[in-house]
Amino acid sequence: MNKKVVVAGGGVLGSQIAFQAAYCGFDVTIWLRSQGSIGRTQPKIEGLKKSYLDAIKLMDSPSAEANWCRGIADADSFDAKKCEELVEKAFSGLKLELDLAKAAADADIIIESVAENVKDKIAFYTALAPLMSEKTILCTNSSTLLPSTFAKYTGRPEKYLSLHFANAIWKNNTAEVMAQSETSREAFDAVMAFANDIRMVALPVNKEKNGYLLNSMLVPFLLSGLDLYVNGVSDPASIDKAWKFGTGAPRGPFEIFDVVGINTAYNIVLQYQKVPGLFSPLLKKMMMPYNFKGMIAVFKKMIDEGKLGRSSGEGFYKY
């Protein structure tokens, strides 16, 4: 089942999805729109080969537990040599194709991972629709756009849904599988099974929801912590401690902001301010109490001072 996999787009995530599926033994083709894209995707695939091999080395060392990559192997059946062979096989087996008709022919599953832009995605689906065989299941990896926006352009709304991955797929191996109202149960189940087959932890999202599961919980949590700070209720370290010591969680909101990076955090706040309730319908109702002006000012000042989080050595904390 699902032997021929096509990934459309070879950017940050497209190349990772393709590499992971090839690592798990699937016949994988990346469709790219131009010769220029080939030039940009090839180094990404070489980089992924190195990332997987480096990860396998760490998994084979005394610090294995902290560095375990569940997308690569299970701890109880790990065999470094075998994993390295799979990486080599994935690397040499991956195909790049510019002709969409050739790429799509006979595909079991096509995963669209082109730019996060409605117009580009509609143009892609419109071109692809007449080229797919009857059996093909079509998925989008979109982070913020809902599949119902595109279903009518696919020619197969009953076989169209979201399959959303996290960045650094070999380590952060969740796959959120989200149906839109016309998706058939068979297609949903087949994509859940496929996600498991490529070593993801498949998480069902039975109806459409901006932010899927993780961001629907994470973003309101982060904003609530930040709101306490910008309103002068308490300081970042105390707010983090309240969360960690009160629940046993490993990180508080400000430690998470530093990992995510202040630029991304700033963009999330801007996006929320424009579209209240983007990820959580609950937030729409309680939007006004949030001090967005204060949040934006805090992040803007940090960005101007080069305090971008862990990556720059300082964010809310010093590293």
Contact positions toward ligand NAD, by CB under 6 A?
9-14, 33, 37, 113-116, 120, 124, 141-143, 164-165, 167
Closest CB to ligand NAD among residues 144, 234: 144
Min dist. Cβ of residue 152 to ligand NAD (A): 18
Q: Which residue is nearest to ligand NAD (CB)?
A: 11
Min dist. Cβ of residue 39 to ligand NAD (A): 10
Q: With the C-alpha atoms ordered 11, 20, 193, 6, is the resulting torsion angle positive or negative? A: positive
Closest CB to ligand NAD among residues 200, 239: 200
Min dist. Cβ of residue 34 to ligand NAD (A): 7
Closest CB to ligand NAD among residues 122, 230: 122
Min dist. Cβ of residue 232 to ligand NAD (A): 33
Min dist. Cβ of residue 239 to ligand NAD (A): 26
Closest CB to ligand NAD among residues 10, 309: 10
Dump the DSSP string for the chain: ---EEEEE--SHHHHHHHHHHHHTT-EEEEE-SSHHHHHHHHHHHHHHHHHHHHHHHHHTSTTTGGG--TTT--GGG--HHHHHHHHHHHHHH-EEES-HHHHHTT-SEEEE---S-HHHHHHHHHHHGGGS-TT-EEEE--SSS-GGGTGGGSS-GGGEEEEEEPSSTTTS-EEEEE--TT--HHHHHHHHHHHHHTT-EEEEE-S--TTTTHHHHHHHHHHHHHHHHHTTS--HHHHHHHHHHHH--S--HHHHHHHH-HHHHHHHHHHHHHSTTSS-HHHHHT-TTS-HHHHHHHHHHHHHTT--BGGGTBSSSB-
Distance, first Cα to last Cα, the chain: 47
Min dist. Cβ of residue 114 to ligand NAD (A): 4
Closest CB to ligand NAD among residues 83, 199: 199
Closest CB to ligand NAD among residues 16, 183: 16
List, in order, residues 6 or more apart from 49 with CB less than 8 Å away: 19, 87, 88, 90, 91
Min dist. Cβ of residue 140 to ligand NAD (A): 7
Which of 207, 213, 162, 142 is closest to 181 using CA atoms? 207
Closest CB to ligand NAD among residues 261, 294: 261
Closest CB to ligand NAD among residues 80, 168: 168
Min dist. Cβ of residue 180 to ligand NAD (A): 15
